[in-house]
Protein backbone atom coordinates (compact mmCIF):
# COMPACT_ATOMS: atom_id res chain seq x y z
CA UNK A 1 0.00 0.00 0.00
CA UNK A 2 1.48 3.30 -1.06
CA UNK A 3 1.99 6.20 1.33
CA UNK A 4 -0.66 8.85 0.61
CA UNK A 5 1.21 11.73 2.33
CA UNK A 6 1.38 14.84 0.12
CA UNK A 7 5.08 15.50 -0.72
CA UNK A 8 4.42 19.23 -1.16
CA UNK A 9 3.90 19.46 2.60
CA UNK A 10 7.43 18.05 3.14
CA UNK A 11 9.43 20.86 1.57
CA UNK A 12 13.13 20.12 1.08
CA UNK A 13 15.47 22.55 2.83
CA UNK A 14 18.37 21.59 0.56
CA UNK A 15 18.34 22.16 -3.23
CA UNK A 16 20.83 20.78 -5.69
CA UNK A 17 21.53 19.18 -9.07
CA UNK A 18 20.26 15.63 -9.62
CA UNK A 19 20.84 13.03 -12.33
CA UNK A 20 18.13 10.41 -12.88
CA UNK A 21 19.40 7.28 -14.66
CA UNK A 22 16.70 4.84 -15.82
CA UNK A 23 16.25 2.89 -19.08
CA UNK A 24 12.47 3.31 -18.82
CA UNK A 25 12.12 6.77 -20.35
CA UNK A 26 8.55 7.36 -19.13
CA UNK A 27 9.54 6.45 -15.58
CA UNK A 28 12.62 8.69 -15.78
CA UNK A 29 10.60 11.63 -17.18
CA UNK A 30 7.93 11.20 -14.52
CA UNK A 31 10.54 11.24 -11.73
CA UNK A 32 12.28 14.22 -13.32
CA UNK A 33 9.05 16.28 -13.43
CA UNK A 34 8.37 15.38 -9.81
CA UNK A 35 11.85 16.31 -8.60
CA UNK A 36 11.94 19.50 -10.68
CA UNK A 37 8.63 20.61 -9.09
CA UNK A 38 10.42 20.49 -5.71
CA UNK A 39 13.01 23.00 -6.90
CA UNK A 40 15.86 20.73 -7.96
CA UNK A 41 17.87 21.03 -11.17
CA UNK A 42 17.40 17.69 -13.01
CA UNK A 43 19.07 15.82 -15.89
CA UNK A 44 18.19 12.34 -17.16
CA UNK A 45 20.12 9.50 -18.83
CA UNK A 46 18.66 6.32 -20.34
CA UNK A 47 21.65 4.06 -19.71
CA UNK A 48 24.87 3.80 -17.71
CA UNK A 49 27.15 4.89 -20.57
CA UNK A 50 25.29 8.18 -21.09
CA UNK A 51 25.18 8.68 -17.35
CA UNK A 52 28.98 8.36 -17.17
CA UNK A 53 29.35 11.03 -19.86
CA UNK A 54 27.10 13.44 -17.96
CA UNK A 55 28.83 12.75 -14.66
CA UNK A 56 32.24 13.84 -15.96
CA UNK A 57 30.85 16.89 -17.77
CA UNK A 58 28.73 18.34 -14.96
CA UNK A 59 28.89 18.32 -11.15
CA UNK A 60 25.90 16.44 -9.71
CA UNK A 61 25.01 16.40 -6.02
CA UNK A 62 22.90 13.23 -6.20
CA UNK A 63 22.41 10.49 -8.79
CA UNK A 64 19.17 8.44 -8.70
CA UNK A 65 20.37 5.20 -10.24
CA UNK A 66 18.39 2.26 -11.65
CA UNK A 67 20.44 -0.88 -11.02
CA UNK A 68 19.27 -2.93 -14.03
CA UNK A 69 19.90 -1.27 -17.39
CA UNK A 70 21.38 -2.28 -20.78
CA UNK A 71 24.88 -1.23 -21.98
CA UNK A 72 26.12 -0.50 -18.44
CA UNK A 73 24.10 -1.30 -15.35
CA UNK A 74 23.88 0.73 -12.16
CA UNK A 75 26.66 -1.19 -10.44
CA UNK A 76 29.10 -0.25 -13.19
CA UNK A 77 28.05 3.39 -12.85
CA UNK A 78 28.74 3.17 -9.11
CA UNK A 79 32.19 1.73 -9.82
CA UNK A 80 32.80 4.57 -12.28
CA UNK A 81 31.84 7.19 -9.67
CA UNK A 82 34.14 5.69 -7.03
CA UNK A 83 37.05 5.22 -9.46
CA UNK A 84 36.84 8.83 -10.63
CA UNK A 85 36.59 10.08 -7.04
CA UNK A 86 33.38 11.99 -7.80
CA UNK A 87 31.64 13.58 -4.82
CA UNK A 88 28.18 12.59 -6.09
CA UNK A 89 25.90 10.92 -3.55
CA UNK A 90 24.07 7.77 -4.80
CA UNK A 91 20.47 6.59 -4.35
CA UNK A 92 19.67 3.24 -6.00
CA UNK A 93 16.29 2.01 -7.26
CA UNK A 94 15.19 -1.42 -8.44
CA UNK A 95 12.04 -3.38 -9.12
CA UNK A 96 13.61 -6.66 -7.93
CA UNK A 97 11.45 -7.90 -5.03
CA UNK A 98 14.41 -9.63 -3.33
CA UNK A 99 16.79 -7.89 -0.90
CA UNK A 100 19.89 -8.66 -2.97
CA UNK A 101 19.98 -5.31 -4.80
CA UNK A 102 19.46 -3.34 -1.59
CA UNK A 103 22.23 -5.14 0.29
CA UNK A 104 24.70 -5.09 -2.59
CA UNK A 105 24.19 -1.41 -3.48
CA UNK A 106 24.41 -0.23 0.13
CA UNK A 107 27.64 -2.20 0.57
CA UNK A 108 29.03 -0.49 -2.54
CA UNK A 109 28.40 2.95 -1.01
CA UNK A 110 24.83 3.96 -1.86
CA UNK A 111 23.17 6.27 0.68
CA UNK A 112 19.75 4.72 0.25
CA UNK A 113 17.78 2.12 -1.70
CA UNK A 114 14.21 2.64 -2.98
CA UNK A 115 12.08 -0.13 -4.40
CA UNK A 116 9.91 0.51 -7.49
CA UNK A 117 7.31 1.90 -7.77
CA UNK A 118 8.88 4.99 -6.20
CA UNK A 119 6.63 7.04 -3.89
CA UNK A 120 7.12 10.84 -3.77
CA UNK A 121 7.57 10.90 0.00
CA UNK A 122 10.25 8.16 0.00
CA UNK A 123 12.06 9.83 -2.88
CA UNK A 124 12.05 13.30 -1.30
CA UNK A 125 13.23 11.88 2.03
CA UNK A 126 16.08 9.95 0.36
CA UNK A 127 17.22 13.01 -1.64
CA UNK A 128 17.18 15.21 1.46
CA UNK A 129 19.17 12.63 3.40
CA UNK A 130 21.79 12.35 0.65
CA UNK A 131 22.15 16.12 0.35
CA UNK A 132 22.60 16.46 4.10
CA UNK A 133 25.29 13.78 4.03
CA UNK A 134 26.99 15.66 1.20
CA UNK A 135 26.95 18.93 3.17
CA UNK A 136 28.34 17.21 6.29
CA UNK A 137 31.06 15.50 4.24
CA UNK A 138 32.04 18.82 2.62
CA UNK A 139 32.18 20.47 6.05
CA UNK A 140 34.29 17.62 7.40
CA UNK A 141 36.62 17.84 4.42
CA UNK A 142 36.80 21.61 4.85
CA UNK A 143 37.85 21.25 8.49
CA UNK A 144 40.36 18.57 7.49
CA UNK A 145 41.81 20.83 4.78
CA UNK A 146 42.12 23.72 7.23
CA UNK A 147 43.94 21.49 9.72
CA UNK A 148 46.24 20.21 6.96
CA UNK A 149 46.92 23.74 5.71
CA UNK A 150 47.70 24.95 9.24
CA UNK A 151 49.94 21.95 9.89
CA UNK A 152 51.73 22.43 6.58
CA UNK A 153 52.11 26.14 7.28
CA UNK A 154 53.73 25.48 10.66
CA UNK A 155 56.01 22.90 9.06
CA UNK A 156 56.88 25.33 6.28
CA UNK A 157 57.62 28.13 8.77
CA UNK A 158 59.74 25.68 10.77
CA UNK A 159 61.56 24.55 7.63
CA UNK A 160 62.24 28.02 6.14
CA UNK A 161 63.30 29.65 9.41
CA UNK A 162 66.69 31.39 9.05
CA UNK A 163 68.28 29.52 11.98
CA UNK A 164 69.00 25.86 12.66
CA UNK A 165 65.90 24.32 14.23
CA UNK A 166 65.28 20.83 15.53
CA UNK A 167 62.93 18.81 17.69
CA UNK A 168 64.01 15.89 19.89
CA UNK A 169 61.70 13.14 21.10
CA UNK A 170 61.43 12.07 24.73
CA UNK A 171 64.55 9.89 24.41
CA UNK A 172 66.71 12.66 22.95
CA UNK A 173 66.58 11.42 19.34
CA UNK A 174 66.13 13.85 16.46
CA UNK A 175 62.47 13.94 15.46
CA UNK A 176 62.51 16.96 13.10
CA UNK A 177 65.23 19.18 11.60
CA UNK A 178 64.83 22.08 9.20
CA UNK A 179 66.58 22.73 5.88
CA UNK A 180 69.18 25.07 7.39
CA UNK A 181 70.20 22.37 9.86
CA UNK A 182 70.86 19.85 7.07
CA UNK A 183 72.58 22.45 4.89
CA UNK A 184 75.14 23.63 7.41
CA UNK A 185 75.88 20.20 8.91
CA UNK A 186 75.97 18.38 5.58
CA UNK A 187 73.70 15.56 6.74
CA UNK A 188 70.44 14.74 4.97
CA UNK A 189 67.25 14.50 7.00
CA UNK A 190 67.27 10.72 6.54
CA UNK A 191 70.76 10.55 8.09
CA UNK A 192 69.79 12.73 11.05
CA UNK A 193 66.30 11.61 12.05
CA UNK A 194 66.30 8.93 14.72
CA UNK A 195 69.89 9.62 15.85
CA UNK A 196 70.66 10.64 19.41
CA UNK A 197 71.78 14.25 19.91
CA UNK A 198 75.12 13.14 21.40
CA UNK A 199 76.18 11.64 18.05
CA UNK A 200 76.51 15.17 16.64
CA UNK A 201 78.20 16.77 19.66
CA UNK A 202 81.95 16.87 20.20
CA UNK A 203 82.97 14.31 22.83
CA UNK A 204 84.45 16.84 25.26
CA UNK A 205 81.19 18.81 25.25
CA UNK A 206 78.72 15.95 25.86
CA UNK A 207 78.92 16.20 29.65
CA UNK A 208 78.57 20.00 29.54
CA UNK A 209 75.56 19.80 27.19
CA UNK A 210 73.86 16.91 28.96
CA UNK A 211 71.91 19.21 31.26
CA UNK A 212 70.40 20.92 28.20
CA UNK A 213 69.21 17.71 26.57
CA UNK A 214 69.06 15.24 29.47
CA UNK A 215 65.99 13.06 29.33
CA UNK A 216 65.30 12.90 33.08
CA UNK A 217 64.17 16.55 32.85
CA UNK A 218 65.39 17.60 36.28
CA UNK A 219 66.85 20.87 34.93
CA UNK A 220 64.82 24.03 34.08
CA UNK A 221 62.40 23.91 31.14
CA UNK A 222 64.21 26.69 29.29
CA UNK A 223 67.93 27.39 28.96
CA UNK A 224 69.88 30.54 28.11
CA UNK A 225 71.88 30.65 24.93
CA UNK A 226 74.95 28.39 25.01
CA UNK A 227 77.74 27.74 22.52
CA UNK A 228 77.97 24.23 21.12
CA UNK A 229 80.17 22.50 18.54
CA UNK A 230 78.28 20.20 16.17
CA UNK A 231 79.97 17.58 14.05
CA UNK A 232 79.50 18.12 10.32
CA UNK A 233 79.53 15.47 7.62
CA UNK A 234 82.61 15.49 5.42
CA UNK A 235 82.11 15.11 1.67
CA UNK A 236 83.02 11.63 0.42
CA UNK A 237 86.77 11.18 -0.20
CA UNK A 238 87.85 14.36 1.61
CA UNK A 239 89.97 14.55 4.75
CA UNK A 240 90.47 10.75 5.17
CA UNK A 241 91.51 9.89 8.71
CA UNK A 242 91.00 13.43 9.96
CA UNK A 243 88.51 14.58 12.55
CA UNK A 244 85.15 15.73 11.11
CA UNK A 245 84.65 19.43 10.55
CA UNK A 246 82.74 21.12 13.38
CA UNK A 247 80.22 23.91 13.38
CA UNK A 248 80.08 26.47 16.19
CA UNK A 249 76.45 27.09 17.11
CA UNK A 250 74.81 29.47 19.56
CA UNK A 251 71.96 27.31 20.86
CA UNK A 252 68.76 27.92 22.77
CA UNK A 253 66.42 25.11 23.76
CA UNK A 254 63.33 24.46 25.77
CA UNK A 255 61.29 21.48 26.85
CA UNK A 256 57.81 20.99 25.41
CA UNK A 257 54.88 19.73 27.43
CA UNK A 258 51.24 18.95 26.79
CA UNK A 259 48.50 19.04 29.40
CA UNK A 260 46.69 15.75 30.01
CA UNK A 261 44.13 16.48 32.68
CA UNK A 262 46.06 17.86 35.64
CA UNK A 263 49.32 16.28 34.53
CA UNK A 264 52.01 17.92 32.40
CA UNK A 265 53.43 15.35 30.01
CA UNK A 266 56.83 15.92 28.39
CA UNK A 267 56.82 15.25 24.64
CA UNK A 268 60.12 16.63 23.37
CA UNK A 269 62.79 19.33 23.27
CA UNK A 270 62.75 22.24 20.83
CA UNK A 271 66.06 23.83 19.87
CA UNK A 272 67.14 26.89 17.84
CA UNK A 273 70.77 27.42 16.89
CA UNK A 274 72.69 30.17 15.08
CA UNK A 275 75.72 29.30 13.03
CA UNK A 276 78.48 31.57 14.32
CA UNK A 277 81.41 30.14 12.35
CA UNK A 278 83.27 32.35 9.89
CA UNK A 279 82.66 30.38 6.71
CA UNK A 280 78.84 30.75 7.02
CA UNK A 281 78.70 34.45 7.95
CA UNK A 282 77.76 35.78 4.50
CA UNK A 283 74.87 33.38 4.06
CA UNK A 284 73.77 33.97 7.66
CA UNK A 285 73.87 37.75 7.11
CA UNK A 286 71.65 37.51 4.03
CA UNK A 287 69.10 35.44 5.89
CA UNK A 288 69.36 37.68 8.94
CA UNK A 289 68.60 40.77 6.86
CA UNK A 290 65.58 39.06 5.32
CA UNK A 291 63.95 38.54 8.71
CA UNK A 292 65.35 41.49 10.70
CA UNK A 293 65.03 45.24 10.56
CA UNK A 294 68.12 46.86 8.96
CA UNK A 295 67.95 49.98 11.12
CA UNK A 296 67.62 48.51 14.62
CA UNK A 297 68.69 44.89 14.06
CA UNK A 298 65.49 43.66 15.71
CA UNK A 299 63.33 40.84 14.33
CA UNK A 300 60.83 42.32 11.89
CA UNK A 301 57.12 41.85 11.19
CA UNK A 302 58.01 38.81 9.06
CA UNK A 303 58.93 36.88 12.23
CA UNK A 304 56.33 38.47 14.51
CA UNK A 305 53.52 36.01 13.72
CA UNK A 306 55.93 33.08 14.04
CA UNK A 307 57.25 34.20 17.44
CA UNK A 308 53.78 35.08 18.75
CA UNK A 309 52.23 31.83 17.49
CA UNK A 310 54.96 29.75 19.14
CA UNK A 311 54.72 31.76 22.39
CA UNK A 312 50.93 31.29 22.44
CA UNK A 313 51.29 27.55 21.87
CA UNK A 314 53.72 27.29 24.76
CA UNK A 315 51.55 29.47 27.01
CA UNK A 316 48.56 27.21 26.33
CA UNK A 317 50.58 24.08 26.99
CA UNK A 318 52.09 25.49 30.20
CA UNK A 319 48.80 27.13 31.25
CA UNK A 320 50.67 30.40 31.91
CA UNK A 321 49.82 33.98 30.89
CA UNK A 322 51.58 35.73 28.02
CA UNK A 323 51.86 39.51 27.66
CA UNK A 324 52.21 41.51 24.44
CA UNK A 325 53.34 45.14 24.77
CA UNK A 326 52.87 47.50 21.82
CA UNK A 327 55.18 50.56 21.86
CA UNK A 328 54.52 53.39 19.39
CA UNK A 329 56.57 56.52 18.59
CA UNK A 330 53.52 58.72 17.90
CA UNK A 331 55.34 61.75 16.50
CA UNK A 332 57.80 60.01 14.15
CA UNK A 333 56.27 61.74 11.11
CA UNK A 334 56.59 65.16 12.72
CA UNK A 335 60.22 64.46 13.68
CA UNK A 336 61.04 63.42 10.10
CA UNK A 337 59.39 66.55 8.68
CA UNK A 338 60.99 68.95 11.17
CA UNK A 339 64.48 67.50 11.67
CA UNK A 340 64.92 65.13 8.71
CA UNK A 341 64.69 61.35 8.28
CA UNK A 342 68.18 60.83 9.72
CA UNK A 343 66.97 62.31 13.02
CA UNK A 344 63.93 60.01 12.94
CA UNK A 345 66.22 57.02 12.36
CA UNK A 346 68.39 58.03 15.33
CA UNK A 347 65.29 58.22 17.52
CA UNK A 348 64.21 54.74 16.47
CA UNK A 349 67.69 53.30 17.10
CA UNK A 350 67.82 54.94 20.52
CA UNK A 351 64.36 53.62 21.43
CA UNK A 352 65.44 50.15 20.31
CA UNK A 353 68.62 50.34 22.43
CA UNK A 354 66.68 51.54 25.48
CA UNK A 355 64.11 48.77 25.09
CA UNK A 356 66.86 46.15 24.78
CA UNK A 357 68.32 47.33 28.10
CA UNK A 358 64.93 47.01 29.79
CA UNK A 359 63.81 43.55 28.59
CA UNK A 360 64.41 40.38 30.58
CA UNK A 361 66.11 37.23 29.38
CA UNK A 362 63.62 35.21 27.41
CA UNK A 363 61.58 38.24 26.33
CA UNK A 364 61.29 38.88 22.57
CA UNK A 365 61.60 42.41 21.17
CA UNK A 366 60.58 43.16 17.57
CA UNK A 367 60.07 46.16 15.30
CA UNK A 368 56.80 45.42 13.53
CA UNK A 369 56.25 48.68 11.64
CA UNK A 370 57.89 52.05 10.97
CA UNK A 371 57.07 53.53 14.38
CA UNK A 372 55.85 50.39 16.19
CA UNK A 373 57.68 47.92 18.43
CA UNK A 374 56.32 44.73 19.98
CA UNK A 375 57.58 43.05 23.14
CA UNK A 376 56.57 39.46 24.02
CA UNK A 377 56.75 38.72 27.75
CA UNK A 378 56.19 35.03 28.61
CA UNK A 379 55.54 33.83 32.17
CA UNK A 380 54.03 37.11 33.43
CA UNK A 381 52.75 36.64 36.97
CA UNK A 382 49.68 38.94 36.91
CA UNK A 383 48.27 42.17 35.48
CA UNK A 384 50.06 44.27 38.09
CA UNK A 385 53.34 42.98 36.68
CA UNK A 386 52.27 44.18 33.23
CA UNK A 387 51.51 47.66 34.57
CA UNK A 388 54.83 47.71 36.45
CA UNK A 389 56.81 46.70 33.35
CA UNK A 390 54.92 49.19 31.16
CA UNK A 391 55.64 52.01 33.61
CA UNK A 392 59.29 51.00 33.84
CA UNK A 393 59.55 51.09 30.05
CA UNK A 394 57.77 54.45 29.86
CA UNK A 395 60.18 55.99 32.33
CA UNK A 396 63.18 54.44 30.57
CA UNK A 397 62.02 55.84 27.23
CA UNK A 398 60.89 59.28 28.40
CA UNK A 399 64.27 61.08 28.38
CA UNK A 400 64.84 63.38 25.36
CA UNK A 401 67.22 62.26 22.61
CA UNK A 402 70.08 64.48 21.49
CA UNK A 403 70.46 64.56 17.70
CA UNK A 404 72.85 67.02 16.02
CA UNK A 405 72.93 69.23 19.12
CA UNK A 406 69.14 69.31 19.50
CA UNK A 407 67.16 67.64 22.29
CA UNK A 408 64.15 65.85 20.81
CA UNK A 409 61.36 64.94 23.21
CA UNK A 410 59.58 61.75 22.23
CA UNK A 411 55.84 61.17 22.32
CA UNK A 412 55.62 57.47 23.14
CA UNK A 413 52.63 55.35 24.12
CA UNK A 414 52.49 51.76 25.36
CA UNK A 415 49.52 49.40 24.94
CA UNK A 416 49.25 45.91 26.35
CA UNK A 417 47.34 42.66 26.00
CA UNK A 418 47.50 39.56 28.20
CA UNK A 419 46.65 36.02 27.09
CA UNK A 420 44.10 34.61 27.74
CA UNK A 421 42.17 37.54 29.28
CA UNK A 422 42.49 39.90 26.30
CA UNK A 423 42.53 37.39 23.47
CA UNK A 424 42.93 33.73 22.52
CA UNK A 425 44.90 34.18 19.28
CA UNK A 426 47.53 36.40 17.64
CA UNK A 427 45.08 38.76 15.91
CA UNK A 428 43.00 39.36 19.04
CA UNK A 429 46.06 40.05 21.22
CA UNK A 430 47.64 42.48 18.73
CA UNK A 431 44.32 44.26 18.16
CA UNK A 432 43.76 44.67 21.91
CA UNK A 433 47.32 45.92 22.46
CA UNK A 434 46.96 48.45 19.61
CA UNK A 435 43.71 49.82 21.03
CA UNK A 436 44.71 49.88 24.72
CA UNK A 437 47.25 52.72 24.60
CA UNK A 438 46.90 55.14 27.47
CA UNK A 439 44.42 53.04 29.46
CA UNK A 440 46.66 51.87 32.33
CA UNK A 441 45.21 53.49 35.50
CA UNK A 442 48.45 53.11 37.45
CA UNK A 443 50.55 54.67 34.69
CA UNK A 444 48.11 57.57 34.40
CA UNK A 445 48.13 58.09 38.17
CA UNK A 446 51.95 58.15 38.31
CA UNK A 447 52.09 60.50 35.31
CA UNK A 448 49.71 62.93 37.03
CA UNK A 449 51.76 62.68 40.25
CA UNK A 450 54.99 63.46 38.39
CA UNK A 451 53.31 66.39 36.61
CA UNK A 452 52.10 67.75 39.97
CA UNK A 453 55.64 67.47 41.42
CA UNK A 454 57.10 69.33 38.43
CA UNK A 455 54.57 72.15 38.89
CA UNK A 456 55.46 72.44 42.63
CA UNK A 457 59.18 72.51 41.75
CA UNK A 458 58.67 75.34 39.23
CA UNK A 459 56.62 77.37 41.69
CA UNK A 460 59.27 76.94 44.41
CA UNK A 461 61.96 78.24 42.04
CA UNK A 462 59.97 81.43 41.42
| Helix/strand/coil (H/E/C) assignment for every residue in 278-309 | HHHHHHHHHHHHHHECCCCCCECHHHHHHHHH
Backbone φ and ψ for 342, nearest 5 degrees, come out as -65, -35
Count Cβ atoms below 10 Å from residue 343 Cβ, excluding itself: 17
Average pLDDT value over all residues in the chain = 80
| pLDDT tier at 444, thresholds 50, 70, 90 | very low
CATH topology of domain 294-462: Alpha-Beta Plaits (3.30.70)
Output DSSP code: residue 201.
B
What pLDDT sits at residue 216?
Answer: 47
On the question of pLDDT at 322 being above 50, the answer is yes
For the segment 181-198, what is each residue's pLDDT rounded down to a tens digit? 888 888 998 999 999 988
Residue among 204, 201, 190, 198 at smallest CA distance from 173: 198
CB 297 within 8 A of CB 285: no
For the segment 146-179, what is each residue's pLDDT rounded down to a tens digit? 776 666 666 666 676 778 888 888 888 998 888 8
Give the Cα separation of 238 and 186 in Å (integer): 13
Domain ranges of the chain: 8-139, 161-291, 294-462
Domain 161-291: which CATH number of 3.30.450.20, 3.30.2010.10, 3.60.20.30, 3.30.300.340:
3.30.450.20
Residue among 378, 368, 203 at smallest CA distance from 296: 368
On the question of pLDDT at 393 being above 60, the answer is yes
Name the residue with higher pLDDT: 411 or 444: 411
**What CATH code would you report for 8-139?**
3.40.50.2300
Residue among 258, 309, 328, 329 at smallest CA distance from 423: 309
Instruction: Find the range with the poorest average confidence among 221-225, 319-323, 347-351, 387-391.
Output: 221-225
Question: Model's pTM, two decimal places?
Answer: 0.38
Give the list of residues 6+ apart from residue 405 with CB closer than 8 angstroms, or none.
Answer: none
Residue 63, SS3 per DSSP: strand
What pLDDT sits at residue 91?
Answer: 93
Name the residue with higher pLDDT: 237 or 427: 427
Average pLDDT over residues 382-404: 83
| pLDDT tier at 235, thresholds 50, 70, 90 | low
On the question of pLDDT at 371 being above 50, the answer is yes
On the question of pLDDT at 62 being above 90, the answer is yes
For the segment 2-13, what is each residue's pLDDT rounded down to a tens digit? 444 454 444 444
What pLDDT sits at residue 201?
Answer: 85
What pLDDT sits at residue 453?
Answer: 39
What pLDDT sits at residue 349?
Answer: 92
Amino acid sequence: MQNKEDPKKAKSSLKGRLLIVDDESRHADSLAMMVASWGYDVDTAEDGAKAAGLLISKPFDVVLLDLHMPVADGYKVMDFIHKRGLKTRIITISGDPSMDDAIKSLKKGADNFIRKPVTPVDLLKAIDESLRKKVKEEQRQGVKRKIEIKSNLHRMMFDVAPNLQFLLDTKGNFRMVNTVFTKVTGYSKQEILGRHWSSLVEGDQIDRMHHVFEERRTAPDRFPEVELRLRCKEPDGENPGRKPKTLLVALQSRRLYTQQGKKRVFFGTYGVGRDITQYNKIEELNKYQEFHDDLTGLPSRVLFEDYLSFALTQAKQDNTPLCLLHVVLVDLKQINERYGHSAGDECLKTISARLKRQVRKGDILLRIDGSEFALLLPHIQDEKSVIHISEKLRIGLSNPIEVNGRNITLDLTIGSAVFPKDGENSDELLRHAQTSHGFHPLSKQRHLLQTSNWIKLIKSQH
